[in-house]
Each structure stands twice: as C-alpha cells, then as structure tokens.
A and B are shown apart, each in its own frame.
Chain A
Amino acid sequence: MATLTVVLLLLFTFPLYGIANSAEPILLGMPFSMFWIVLWTAVEFVILLALYWGEFGRRSR
C-alpha cells in the first residue's frame, strides 16, 4: 500500500508527470494532462479492489 501511494504520487508529480504534461493528444474528450490522472486513478481503483477482495473476498459476512 505504501508502495502504491508512492508510485502514484510520483506519476502525478514532476518529473514523471512531465510525460503527460501537454494538452495534446485529446483523449476521451480530455487533454492528455487530465487523461493521465484519470487513467491512473482508474488503475488505482482496480488495484485497490483486487487487494480488498484478496483480503476479505472469501470470508462471508
């Protein structure tokens, strides 16, 4: 979890955010600088869901 937080922080801040730091291309109606954050947020959500199911999924309650 700490790793996930640090990796995402790095992806959303400079210098790594420099990869996405541009209006072009416009994807799904968003400038690339915005799309990048939304994309990784979606990835984050999927990873978190997987972690949660790994921990609690099989227990019935």
Chain B
Amino acid sequence: MSAGATALLIMLAYLALALGIGLAAGRGRSKLSVSEFAVAERGLGLVVMWFLMGSTIFSAFAFLGGPGWAFDRGAAALYILGYGALGLLPWFILGPRLARLGAARGYFTMGDFIRDRYRSNVLVALMGIVAVLAFIQYLTLQLTGVAYIFNVMTEGLVPFWVGALVAYGIVLVYVATGGVRAAAWSDVLQGALMLIIAWIIGLWLVSYLHGGPGQMFEGIAAERPGFLAIGQEGSEMGKTEFSTALLVSVIGFVMWPHLFMKSFSTTERRIKQVVVSYPLFAILLVPVLFIGFAAVTEVPANAVEEPDQILPYLITDVLPVGPLVFGLIGAGALSAAMSSADAITHGASVTFTRDVVVPFRPRFSERGQLWTMRIAVVAVGTAAYYLAVVGSETLVDLLLGAYGSIVQFAPAVYGALFWRRASAVGAIAGLVVGVAVNFYYELIAPAPLLEIHAGILGLIANLVVFVGISLLTRPAPALEPEPEPAAAAGGGTERAA
C-alpha cells in the first residue's frame, strides 16, 4: 500500500471513530433544537468553555492559516497573536451585562436581545442574513483547510474537490445526527491534542532545520530583510493594513452570534475566568507560527500550490516521519477543523431559523422549524463548498473577510447596552450602510482605500449613520432596569433547567 493510501486509511478510521463516539454519547437527543443547544452548554467547566470560545482560533485558521501566513507574509502573521491576546477582552465588559439581561429576560440568541431592545424584527432579520453570509465564508475556511489536509497528507491521492466534498458530507452527518455537541469533552480533548501536536512539530522543525529559533530568525533576517517587520522594504504587509486587520478582529470577535450566545448561558464569574485565561492562547500560538517561519529559508515558495499547505507539506516532505505519523497528525488537524465547522454550521442554521424566519412566521410549528434548520444547513454547506472550490483566497483572508461583515453589528450591540438614544431606524440604516461599504471595498473596489480594512471603512460609515439617524428619530424604549447582580446570577443557573 502506498504511503498516501496508508495515511488516508488512518484519517478515515479516526473520523469514523470520532463520529461513532459522538453518536453514542448523543443518542436520543436532537441537536436541532434551540433549547437543547443552549442547555448543552450550561454549566460547562472553565476548560470546556475556554476551548469553546477558542474554537474560532483553534481550527484550520490557526493550524494551517497561521503557518501559511508566516511562511508567505512573515510578520503579517503576528496580527494573529495580537488577535488571540485581545479578542476576548471586550467580553469582560459586555459578557456580564448580557448574562444578567439574558437571565432576567430569557434570551437565547443575539436576535432575542436585539429584538427586545430595539423592538424591530426587520433589524433582527437583517442581522441574521448578514451573519449567515459571514458564517458561509467562515465555513469555507474550514472546508478548504480539510481539503488541503486530505490532499497533501495523502500525497495527492485525494483531489481538492473530493476532500472538500468529504468535509461537507461529514458536517451534514454531524449536524443531522447531533452527536458531537453532546460530547463537548471529546472536542476539548481533540483541541488539546492538536495543540500538543502543533507544539511538537513546531519545536521539532525549528531544531531539525535550523538548530534553534534564534538561528532560524537570524537566518530569515539575513536572507529576507524586512520580512520580519511591517511596512518596511521587503515587508509583506503595510502598517495600516496590519493595524486595521487587528482592530477589525478585536471589535468583531464577540459579535459572532454563536459566541455571543454563550453570554446567555453562563455566569458572570465564568465569563471573567474565560477572559482572564484567554491571553494564554496567544502565547500557545507562538510555536504554531514557528512552523511557517521554519520553512521560509528552506522551502521555495513554489513547492506548494498555496501557502496554507505548508504545514502538511513540511510533515510529508521534510520531517523524517512515515505515513503512519502523518495519518495521525492529519486526523488531529481534521478533527479540529471539523468540530469548528460543526459549530459554525449549527450557529448559522439556528440564526437563520430563529432570527430570520420565525419573526415573520410567529406560529411556525416546531416541526417546520426543524426542517428549516436542516434545509439551512444544506444550503449554507453548499454555498461554502462552492466558494471553497472556486475561491483563491488564503484561509486568513477568508476569516478577515467574514470579520468585515460581523464587525458591523458592533454599533447596534454597544448602542443597545450603553446608549439610551439608540433607535431601531438608526441601527438599521447604520447596518445597511456599513455592510454596503464593506462589500464595496471588499469585492468591487480595485484596491482598499488607504490600505484600511474594508470592515473598518464600513464600521466608520455605520457609526456615523447610526448616531446621526438615532439622534433624529425616536429612541427605542429602554430596557427595564437591570436586576441586582446577585439575583441574576441565581436566575442564570435556574433559567434553563
């Protein structure tokens, strides 16, 4: 049997095993139920919560995109560390307020909160549609990552389009059977395993190819001056581009509906614990970036079709390991990408059904909702598959693109919590203008204005319109005074029982 076939066999066996365990753990429960989804996460421990919040980063984005950017664009990849370090900080302020409000008023989704504050189904539905579009880009990232792993780790035995199709198929099975959510701990184990593997590979590659990280970076600095800095001659990213990419990620991080939802199913204390422990993520990502840097002076850029293939390429073509090992590593990377893909797809289908469809069909039956969710899963997956096959963006670009849309929720969300004059009309107008500006600069304009990330340009327009129109229109009625924190904490644990 060829090396590629051995690796493929191991990866498939691992995926089947993971699915089997998930199915056994989740038997008898339906994942396609909004309350089940929220209840499943209530009362989870700190470690599980940490990994769930980290799934945005702990996926194909970090394991393939991080090294890919370090290999291709050098210091540009450092924005990923800044994003990991700062992404969750705003949650320290938002999270406890949302947890209190959610406990007192029974929210499950971001849409429940927005509707309660602004009394506008139109706004909720618009945000739902924008979120689903961003989710599609984000799922494309995961499908592309899985396809790269299949393709390179099997030494080309599995073509890209088949790899992406297999990933899409697995997502469908995961979401339809509902097994994986029940086994949150298996997700954590897979995530931790992947992190350990990445550390071993990163440190091993550096010492195997260069002797040590110091020598490696000296070598890069000597051969490629400017590559390890931003906005200098020989750099691969401009100063404004770097700064605004970081800014859009930090503002956008907790605006993702599936992460936002976690505010409603946990306590203030847990939220703060997760925020405090989160910067460790950034530090844990350092050796992951080393993987990409190790290749800069050793691997010619044209050795891989796409920079994001650098991690699997290094394992199969550079490290002296056999097909057994790359099968196992491939399996670990696959499971990290698949569990994220699963959460994204589920988040998209819940958002679509609960925030876009149900507001306009209030008496929609439970059965009808379940079918809508299933159809949404297939539609979102198909769109993401199509983008993965025709698209040419790198994994990090895909996530940054999705952030351009997601960040447009920030004015409405912060306004809802902190600004009494905020009005529904203002929020709707701001969102529409912000999204339009973002898409114009992302898709139509030949070059970004002054190197500023399209999402930030959209956000500026969004904010101006939101504030201006809110001041001219009648503000939405303020929510009732917040309950005492102590009472809310109790409510938070009892509510979903």
Which residue on A lies nearest to B232, using beta carbons? A21
Least CB distance from B457 to A in Å reads 16
Q: Is B213 engaged at the interface, CB distance under 8 Å to the other chain?
A: yes
CA distance A23 to B234 in the complex (A): 12
Least CB distance from A41 to B in Å reads 4
- B82-98 CB contacts (< 8 Å) to partner A: 82, 85-86, 89-90, 92-93
User: What does the 1/0 interface line of B274-297 toward A look like (CB < 8 Å)?
Assistant: 011001101100100100000000
CA distance A35 to B282 in the complex (A): 12
* Residues in chain B within 8 A of chain A (CB atoms): 75, 78, 81-82, 85-86, 89-90, 92-93, 212-214, 216-218, 220-221, 225, 227-232, 239-240, 242-243, 246-247, 250, 269, 272-273, 275-276, 279-280, 282-283, 286, 289
CA distance A30 to B206 in the complex (A): 12
Instruction: Please judge, given known A-B contacts A14-B243, A23-B221, A37-B82, whether A49 and B231 are in contact too, CB under 8 Å.
Output: no
CA distance A52 to B276 in the complex (A): 7
Instruction: Please judge, given known A-B contacts A13-B246, A31-B228, A48-B275, whether A41 and B269 are in contact too, CB under 8 Å.
Output: no
CA distance A29 to B75 in the complex (A): 15
CA distance A1 to B282 in the complex (A): 19
CA distance A21 to B238 in the complex (A): 12
B282 in contact with A14 (CB, 8 Å): no
Which residue on B lies nearest to A2, using beta carbons? B93
Instruction: Please judge, given known A-B contacts A21-B232, A29-B217, whether A1 and B85 are in contact too, CB under 8 Å.
Output: no
B272 in contact with A5 (CB, 8 Å): no
User: Given A1-B93, A23-B220, 9 other A-B contacts at CB below 8 A?
Assistant: A1-B92, A5-B86, A14-B230, A14-B240, A15-B239, A17-B243, A30-B213, A45-B279, A49-B276
Which chain B residues border A1 with CB–CB below 8 Å?
89, 92-93
A44 in contact with B218 (CB, 8 Å): no
Instruction: Please judge, given known A-B contacts A29-B212, A33-B230, A34-B81, whether A41 and B272 are in contact too, CB under 8 Å.
Output: no
CA distance A21 to B78 in the complex (A): 11
Least CB distance from B204 to A in Å reads 14
List, sorted by A's number, 22 A–B pairs whose CB atoms are closer than 8 Å.
A5-B89, A8-B85, A8-B89, A12-B86, A13-B246, A14-B231, A23-B229, A24-B221, A26-B214, A29-B213, A30-B213, A33-B228, A34-B81, A34-B286, A34-B289, A37-B81, A37-B282, A44-B86, A51-B276, A52-B272, A55-B272, A56-B269
